[in-house]
Structure formats: structure tokens, C-alpha cells
Amino acid sequence: MRQALQLVFTLAFSWTLVSCQSSQVKTAPEPTAPAPAEQAPTAQADASRRAVASAVPASDVPELTEDIVFNLLAGEVAAQRGALDQAYAHQLQAALLSGDATAAERATRLALHMDKGELAVKAASLWVELAPADLTARQLLVVLMLRQDENAPVLDHLKTIVRISEGNDENGFLNVMAAINRELKRESAMGLMRRLVLEFPGDPRGGYALAIAALVDKDYAAAEKEADRLVAAHPDWPKGYLVLSRVYLSQDDKPKARGLLADAVRRFPADPFLLSAYARLLVDAKELQAAYEQFLRLEKIESEGGDASYWLGLIALELGEDEAARGHFLQLLDTDKQTDVAAYYLGRIAEKREQSRQAVQWYQRVDGGDYRDEAQVRSVKLMAAMGETREAFDWLQRMRIQYPDQAARYYLIEVELLREHGTPAQVMALFDTAIGALPESNELLYARGLYAATQNRVDILERDLLRVIANDPKHADALNALGYTLADQTDRHQEALDYIQRALALKPDSAAILDSMGWVLFRLGRNQEAIGYLRQAYDKLPDAEIAAHLGEVLWVTGEQQQAREIWQGILDKTPQSEHVLEVMRRLEI
């Protein structure tokens, strides 16, 4: 029936176009009872029946009455004309006459489009009656009933949703929660869910759904209560311990989560989810050897591999076990999962062993992911270090041709290579070529501006960064770089302050911009304000350049001891820090 009626739906649209051109279009009446059997079929109905019969096997052709065909087609005509009430009535009548769920679904969606809840409930109820195993129909009916009345009798429908979902190998309680959460307040939804869970006392998935729902709402006390109840009622179900550990972690109680998972792993030594969760907690606690052992166990029981091999490779690298790491990443590569990650780390291992040729080959296999850019930079640097500078440049050119949408990025990699193996004039010439090819690339303009500043060409920096800002007035990094350079290398301090203020408004938590604000205020003689901004910047990012700025302002305001302590803290970590040593030389310290 469904196949044949669906064909009628399809035929209806084209027939509507023909009918609308006729001067004898019949006005669609309200739905009526089936026509008497002796009534002669119209030519149109007869034509539709012949079309259906010719399109499907004879055994599948339904007994289409004139009223079924008429209501289907009249509904289509009404919908095309925007008469949605009539379209709804005809589709609903077609569903009643034919017993086909498709028409009931269409009637339901028409009622939803008209925002008529009672009509939608009526049509959806028929849809469920005609297609009792349709999960979408059940969920939508529940939503519509609760929308009309939050105390609607939906429990039987919810029980059916659970059973249908079980046949699809899904957690039906989660499907129920997704349906009722949209229409009920949290307390009402949880109360209805608890009633549903009581209907399935032997199924732990109900308690799991309750705990997850409370976690999503960040009601950690309720989540812990539900998870505790789940574990107590179903101590042999491993997922209960997983959800309880997530509750502990959500409350930042890592020791409690770790203890729970350690006990659970002893009870269920072959459960991959418990092993993975416990091993990750050990990594977080920096107990790498213990984590490595757990991931080894996981690797043996994983059906498809991948996750354990990835973690084993990373941990082995951290432990200095390069050969073991190499084996794990090769195994990860064999699983055809995270191949870019595996190739990247295999390249790093080969590079560490001074196997440059192998490293390049691995790096060039990294086609995507987070490590692609670094892999490509390392690849061309290694090629240049092996004396293959020309080959490196040729490879970058091929990449620009092959991936024109990534041309700017490959130009920047070439710039990086030329900075190490060429002259400043060659670097600027390459920038000129790149920007000539991509004149609107903010990425290239910004990079050339910053490089020009290192060559004391403030004029080029200003020209390029003003172009970037004109293209993108909210480019905070360009505003900051221009403001900082003007503050540091010119006497245009008030103008610099304006640019930095605009940048800070866009990125108020940026340590770099806070540092620039402190520095320009210092240059304007507003030392106490400067110290406030520089302290904020240093608290967020205690690097050498910010330390040099903060120390200098403290020094000139008489806080020499504080300045020394800040500088010494940097020198203890990086004795050759040029930023700190330069300011100390300039201040003759």
C-alpha cells in the first residue's frame, strides 16, 4: 500500500499542474465518506489507477477507491494553493480510507505548520495507529500530547518507545528523555522518567538515562544520587561505574573517580570503556607507567584497535621509549585510524634519530588534522638542512598549484624557510611576489608587516597593517601589532594608544594586548596605570618579553627589588633570555 500511495503522491503534483490549467477544476469539498461502490470512477481517477498499475507489480497494487485518489490529489491541490486546512482534512481522510501512514504523517506535518496542536495530535495518533513501530511517530506524538497538556497520559507510549528502541539496539530511555525534555520542566521530566524506569525494574539503562540527564543539567547532587542508586541496584553493569565516575569528575573530585574506576577495573578486567577511562585518569595524574600498563591491557581486547595504540605511543614517547613508541604508531597506522597523527609522530621519531630522509617521507604523509602545518614546516626544513633547498622550494610550489585555496599558507612556509636560508631582501621579494598573487590576503599582509618591523621598516608595517584593518576592522592582532610598534619605535604614542585600546576592546583577556597597553601607558608617562596592565599580562603569561617590560617600569618607579625578582625568575629558566638581558644592559644593571 505505501509504495503505491507514494506513487500517487508523486503523480499528484504533476497532475495538479495540468488540472490548474483547466477551466473545469472541481472545488475541493470537505472530506466525505467513501463513495458508493456503483458510482462510476472519474476519468482522472481511472487514469491515476492505470498509472499506479503500470508502475508496480500487480500483487502490490492496492484497491484504490475513487475517494482515496480524490482525497490524495485534492490535498495536494489545496496545499499548492495554500489552503492548508483543506489539505490537512484531505490527507487525514486519505489516511483513514487507505490505512496508509504516509498520509497521516503528511497531515501531522501540515497541522504543525499551521500551529494547530489539537489537529496535530489527532493526525499523529492516527500515524502511530497505522505505523505502531515508527519511532519518530511515537516521539512526535508524545511531544504534541505534552505540549497540549503536561499531564497527558503518555506513559504507554514511552514504554513502547523503549521497546522499539531496544529492537534498534538503542537506549530507549535516552530517546524518551530527548522527547520529553523539550516540553516539560526539569522536575516534571525527571518525575515522568522515574515512573517509566519503575516499569522496567530489571533494565539498568533507565537509571543511566536519569543520571545523564541530571549531569547535562549540571545538577551534580541529583546526578550522584541517581548514579549511586544505579550502581546499588545493578552492581554487575559496568556502565553504572562509568557514569558515577563522570559525576565525580564533573565535581572535580579526581581521587574519588580514580578509586571508583580502579575497583571497577578489578571487577571487570575486560571492559574496554572502564579500562580506557581509568587509564586516562592515570595519564592526567602523570602516573604514566601505570597508565601504559592499562592501555596495554586495552590494546589486547580492542576489537578494532586504534585508541589504545595512540595513547601507548604518546606515553612511550614521554617515557623516552622511542622504539616502543614507534611500534605503537606503526600499529595505529595499520588500523587505518588517526593515520595523520601516526605519520606525524613517526616523523618526529625518525627526526630525533637523525633519519632525515625517513622523517621527510613520514611528514609528507600527513594530509590533514592538527599536525599538518607543523609536519610540512618540519619537512621543508629537513630538506633544506640536507642541502635540498631547491627541492623544498619546488615542493612548496607544487603544493600551491595543487591546493590553490591553501596558497597563502604555503607561501608563509616558504618565507620561514627563506628566513633561515636566504637574505632579508630575498624574504621581502618573496612577500612581494606572494602578495602580488594574493593581494587581499590579510594573512600575508600581516606577516609581511611583522617581518618589516624586524627590519626597522615601520613604514611597511604601517602600510600593510592599515590595509589589514581596512579589510577587517576587528582584526585585533593587527591593531595591537600596529599600536605596539608605534609605541615602541616612534613618538606617536597617543595614536598608538588608540589602536591598542581598540584591540583590547576586542580581546580583553589577551596577555599580549594587555602588555601592549601597559607599554604604551609607560611611554606616555602613566607609570602606575602601566604597572597594573603589565601585572595582569604577566599573571596570564609569564614570558620573557612581558617580564622585561614589567621589570623596567618597576625599576624606574623605584621598585628595583621586585624588578630583579621578576627578571631572575626568567633567567633561572632561560639564562640567555635576550629580552631580559637587553633591558638590564640598557639600564646598566
Model pLDDT for residues 543-567, shown as the tens digit of each residue: 999 999 999 999 999 999 999 999 9
Q: Measured between alpha carbons, how far is 96 from 52 in angstroms, rounded to an integer?
A: 20
* pLDDT (mean) for 391-420: 91
pLDDT digits (tens, 9 = 90+) for 349-399: 999 999 999 999 999 999 888 898 889 889 988 998 898 989 889 989 998
| Whether pLDDT at 54 is above 70 | no
Grade residue 82 by pLDDT with cuts at 50, 70 and 90.
confident
**What is the model's pLDDT at position 79?**
84
| Whether pLDDT at 17 is above 50 | no
pLDDT digits (tens, 9 = 90+) for 269-328: 999 999 999 999 999 999 999 999 999 999 888 766 568 999 999 999 999 999 999 999
Determine which helix (DSSP H) or strand (DSSP E) holds 244, and give its type and residue range. Answer: helix 238-250
Determine which helix (DSSP H) or strand (DSSP E) holds 220, and give its type and residue range. Answer: helix 220-233
For residues 126 and 99, the answer to whether their CB atoms sit within 8 Å is no
Q: Measured between alpha carbons, how far is 124 from 144 in angstroms, rounded to an integer?
A: 8
| Whether pLDDT at 16 is above 80 | no
Q: Report the mean per-residue pLDDT for the chain.
A: 86
Q: Where in the chain are the domains?
A: 1-131
* Cα–Cα–Cα angle for 148, 154, 156, rounded to 5 degrees: 160
| Whether pLDDT at 5 is above 60 | no
The terminus-to-terminus CA distance of the chain in angstroms comes to: 93
pLDDT digits (tens, 9 = 90+) for 416-470: 989 988 999 999 999 999 999 999 999 999 999 999 999 999 999 999 999 999 9
H-state helical runs in 335-457: 339-352, 356-363, 372-385, 389-402, 407-421, 424-437, 442-454
DSSP state of 36: P
Neighbour count for residue 456 (Cβ, 10 Å): 10
* pLDDT (mean) for 55-60: 36
Architecture of the domain delimited by 1-131: Alpha Horseshoe (1.25)
* pLDDT (mean) for 79-85: 87
* pLDDT (mean) for 74-88: 85
